[in-house]
Amino acid sequence: QVQLQESGPGLVKPSETLSLTCTVSGGSITSYYWSWIRQPPGKGLEWIGYMYYSGGSYHNPSLESRVTISVDTSKNQLSLKLSSVTAADTAVYYCARRRTTDYFDYWGQGALVTVSS
Amino acid sequence: QSVLTQPPSVSGAPGQRVTISCSGSSSNLGAGYYVHWYQQLPGTTPKLLIYANSSRPSGVPDRFSGAKSGTSASLAITGLQAEDEADYYCQSYDSSLSSLVFGGGTKLTVL
> Do strands A3-7 and A18-25 pair parallel, antiparallel, or not at all (unpaired)?
antiparallel
Cα–Cα distance between B13 and B5 in angstroms, integer?
Answer: 24
In this prediction, residue A31 carries a pLDDT of 87
Contact A44 B51 (CB under 8 A): no
For the stretch A74-79, contacts whose Cβ atoms lie closer than 8 Å and that sit 24 or more positions apart, written own/partner, are A75/A23, A76/A23, A76/A24, A76/A25, A76/A28, A76/A29, A77/A21, A77/A22, A77/A23, A77/A24, A77/A29, A78/A21, A78/A22, A78/A24, A78/A29, A78/A34, A78/A36, A78/A51, A79/A19, A79/A20, A79/A21, A79/A22
Which segments of chain B are extended strands (E)? 9-12, 18-23, 36-40, 47-50, 64-69, 72-77, 86-94, 99-102, 106-110
A7-63 pLDDT per residue, tens: 999 999 999 999 999 999 999 999 899 999 999 999 999 999 999 888 888 999 999
A–B interface: beta-carbon pairs under 8 A: 57
Number of Cβ within 10 Å of residue A53's Cβ equals: 18
In this prediction, residue B80 carries a pLDDT of 98
A105 phi-psi bin (left φ>0, alpha ψ -120 to 50, beta other): alpha
In this prediction, residue A54 carries a pLDDT of 84
Q: Which of B46, B51, B98 sits opposite A45 (nearest CB)?
A: B46
pLDDT at B8 over 90: yes
B41-99 pLDDT per residue, tens: 999 999 999 999 999 999 999 999 999 999 999 999 999 999 999 999 999 999 999 99
Total residues belonging to chain A:
117
Contact A102 B47 (CB under 8 A): no
**Cα Rg of chain A, angstroms:** 13
Cβ of B46 under 8 Å from any chain A Cβ? yes
| Residue A7: strand pairing partners | A21
Cα–Cα distance between A66 and A11 in angstroms, integer?
Answer: 18
